[in-house]
Chain A
Amino acid sequence: MRHSSSTSTKGQSHLDGRHSPADGVTLAKALKAMTEVVGAEAVFATQEDRDAYSDRFPIDPHRHRPYAAVAPTSAAQVQALVKIAVAHRVPIWTISRGKNLGYGTSAPVVAGSIILDLSRMQKIEVDVENGTVLLEPGVGFYDLYAYLQTHKIPLWLSVPGNSWGSVIGNALDRGLGYTPYGEHTRNLCGLEVVLPDGDMVRTGMGAMPNAPSWQLHKYGYGPAWDQLFVQSNFGIVTKAGMWLMPQPEIVRGFDVEMEHMEDLEPLIDALGPLRREGVLQQSPTIGNWFRAANILTTRRQWTDQPGSLSDEVISAIRKQFGLGWWGVSLRVFGRETVVQANLDILEKSLRAINPMALKPFTWRPGDAIAPTQSGWMGVPMTFAMQSANWFGGRGGHIGFSPVLTQSGKLAMEQFRRTYARYKEFGMDYQASFAFGERHMLNVNAVLLNLDDPQFMQRVDPFLRTLIADAREHGYGEYRAHIDYMDTVADCYDYNNHALRRLNERVKNALDPAGILAPGKSGIWPAAYRTQARS
């Protein structure tokens, strides 16, 4: 079994870096042919370029260094580049804007890949009446927000905590926001995709030329393929339709703080039924005190002790910023009479669990939006990334995000196990519990101290331990950093890895040359099997 070396997720110190099977001469030839397609000004192959397209929140910055990057401006150019990659058998790795911080940034799984940087594909086409947009991958959240504002279009985005990146790229990696449209991959409706042999397909109603409903009906006729191209390496999305939220008449809600760590269980059990019933249409995210505090301050202002923060330090920081052990911002969007009715139900449920603070919130069109409210109001933001400075120097984060149920009891047990492991490995614990409609994502962050090699050596075994612990309870991750894609895929092993075998049958059928993003989500083309075994 080619993945036998990583079947056990615990105790393995490093993934072996996998390298492009193409030699330097072949890569140079491929890049020369690609240069003829896009022009020399769109090819980046200096040492500085290779660094710039590497992972910025890495455990090992050298492990995923690309060979070069190429920036096409059209789907036709993407098709031509793919055909060149096939002809030369060189691996390519697609990025939309390359801002996937915490998951690999711009970097490929396979070192020596050529990056297809789609940043320069930036077309925006809005259908105002139907509340949809057709986007190219280079459009960032800030670009789309500015476009809607400039043209006074009453449609709202849902944005992730780091909104620097691509709208499409985030949806294709199943990123999250905080409004009723917060599960971004669900907003996709109709894709244009270049397949790994250079062919092009439009999914859903887009398969019918000039259909006026490409961005309206998600399925078309027969099998629906949109999710085939999400978190996969089966094609390059060059356009995607997305649904946007009509601007609500009013937004109301509460910012809730819960005093004790044990309050997680009643809080989840209070919110879960409201979310499943639809009283809460937003996907609320419960965060611990540290998730709020590490944006506002640095560690050395509170302690010079290594290891996890002590309870005394935690109390002092919480007191300074008025934070509960857990906090959550709940919002209800829509018509005023409906919002008021739902808000009353919400308030009653919250008061029943004795919150430490329950701060009401109201917004109507025309009201200013405070920066701290950005996430719930669909306004792009970057300030949450200030957590990268928690240790005072160069930092970053890597996520550990198992999929849980909406059971308060089970979430509490998972929290206790995880928190104990953070203490065991001397890490500061950042957690959130993000509701889906039926599931819950336990998005934990491991904050990195890139200036401390000893600290960094603990990160990899720590993450592997967390993944192994979760696996024992049937909790797999929803998304992974490039270093952990194999390890996470290994957890999904029903019937002797039937899912991986299916994925790889599809991979080999669509991409027999094995050129597109080898290793993405743990999916390897046949050409890499020998290398992976060795």
Chain B
Amino acid sequence: MRRAVLAGIALALSVAAQAADLDGKRLFQSRCLMCHGPVGMGTGLLSRRMKPEVAQLEKREDLSAAYVERAARVGILNMPPITRGDVTDAQLASIAQYLSRGKP
């Protein structure tokens, strides 16, 4: 029984549901936070080039949506590009909106 219940939850989290989810904050947490969270590779490397308190992307005030999208798609320094199979264009646009706080 437990298995069936959890399988139901799993289906609810399946790709169709995720693809439809365009909540930028939630997408950032599930697709970006592994590197851009408090102890991720991205935060660690960015903190070598800027003040550690703003090395986490969510704390930045200077990000534009266009910059976030380009950085993700072509990569920067040691950040690999994020493929469109991994994060769709619509999902990336939502993430960029979230990080740029509405700045184009």
Instruction: Write the residues of chain A forming the contact surface with B, with a CB cutoff of 8 angstroms.
Output: 41-42, 44, 48-49, 51-53, 56, 69, 71, 73, 97-99, 101, 105-106, 115, 117, 119-129, 138, 140, 142-143, 146-147, 151, 153, 163-164, 295, 298, 371, 380-386, 388-389, 393-396
Identify which of B40, B74, B84 contacts A382 (C-beta below 8 A): B40
Q: Do A122 and B81 touch (CB < 8 A)?
A: no
A385 CB contacts on chain B under 8 angstroms: 41, 78
Within 8 A of A (CB), among B17-55: 18-19, 30, 33-35, 38-42, 44-45, 48
Identify which of B6, B30, B35, B38 contacts A143 (C-beta below 8 A): B30
Nearest residue (CB) in A for B17 is A122
Nearest residue (CB) in A for B29 is A146
> When A and B form their complex, which 8 residue pairs have the shortest distance between CB atoms, in order from nearest?
A117-B85, A52-B81, A71-B85, A371-B39, A382-B41, A56-B80, A388-B78, A124-B10
Q: Do A51 and B39 touch (CB < 8 A)?
A: no
Q: Do A123 and B11 touch (CB < 8 A)?
A: yes
Instruction: Write the residues of chain B forming the contact surface with A, with a CB cutoff of 8 angstroms.
Output: 2-3, 6-7, 9-11, 13-16, 18-19, 30, 33-35, 38-42, 44-45, 48, 73-75, 77-78, 80-86, 88
Tell me, in angstroms, the Cα distance from A185 to B56 when the chains sit together. Answer: 34
A125 CB contacts on chain B under 8 angstroms: 3, 6-7, 10
Q: Do B9 and A151 touch (CB < 8 A)?
A: yes
B73 CB contacts on chain A under 8 angstroms: 48, 52
Minimum distance in angstroms from B31 CB to a CB of chain A = 9
If A147-B13, A382-B40, A386-B41 touch, whether A97 touches B80 (CB-CB below 8 Å) is no
Q: Do B3 and A53 touch (CB < 8 A)?
A: no
Q: Do B85 and A383 touch (CB < 8 A)?
A: no
B18 CB contacts on chain A under 8 angstroms: 122
A73 CB contacts on chain B under 8 angstroms: 15-16
| A and B contact pairs by CB, cutoff 8 A, 15 listed | A41-B88, A44-B84, A48-B73, A51-B81, A52-B84, A105-B80, A119-B86, A120-B85, A122-B14, A140-B34, A147-B10, A153-B6, A163-B34, A385-B78, A394-B77
A393 CB contacts on chain B under 8 angstroms: 77
A69 CB contacts on chain B under 8 angstroms: 83-85
Identify which of A98, A128, A386, A396 contacts B3 (C-beta below 8 A): A128
A147 CB contacts on chain B under 8 angstroms: 10, 13
B2 CB contacts on chain A under 8 angstroms: 127-129
B83 CB contacts on chain A under 8 angstroms: 44, 49, 52-53, 69, 98, 106, 117, 119
Tell me, in angstroms, the Cα distance from A294 to B31 when the chains sit together. Answer: 26
Known: A52-B84, A140-B34. 19 other contacts (CB 8 A): A44-B84, A51-B74, A99-B80, A101-B80, A117-B85, A122-B13, A123-B15, A124-B10, A125-B3, A127-B2, A127-B6, A138-B15, A146-B30, A151-B9, A164-B35, A386-B45, A388-B41, A389-B77, A396-B78
Most chain A C-beta atoms within 10 Å of own C-beta, residue among B39, B83, B84, B88: B83
Most chain B C-beta atoms within 10 Å of own C-beta, residue among A42, A117, A383: A383
Q: Do B39 and A126 touch (CB < 8 A)?
A: no
If A49-B83, A119-B83, A394-B78 touch, whether A383 touches B44 (CB-CB below 8 Å) is yes
B39 CB contacts on chain A under 8 angstroms: 371, 381, 383
Minimum distance in angstroms from A270 CB to a CB of chain B = 32
B88 CB contacts on chain A under 8 angstroms: 41
Tell me, in angstroms, the Cα distance from A115 to B84 when the chains sit together. Answer: 12
Nearest residue (CB) in A for B7 is A125
Q: Do B15 and A389 touch (CB < 8 A)?
A: no
Minimum distance in angstroms from A378 CB to a CB of chain B = 15
Q: Do B80 and A44 touch (CB < 8 A)?
A: no
Nearest residue (CB) in A for B87 is A119
Most chain A C-beta atoms within 10 Å of own C-beta, residue among B39, B85, B86: B85
Tell me, in angstroms, the Cα distance from A128 to B3 when the chains sit together. Answer: 7
Identify which of B34, B38, B80 contacts A380 (C-beta below 8 A): B34
A119 CB contacts on chain B under 8 angstroms: 83, 85-86
Tell me, in angstroms, the Cα distance from A117 to B82 when the chains sit together. Answer: 13
Tell me, in angstroms, the Cα distance from A56 to B41 when the chains sit together. Answer: 15
A142 CB contacts on chain B under 8 angstroms: 30, 33-34
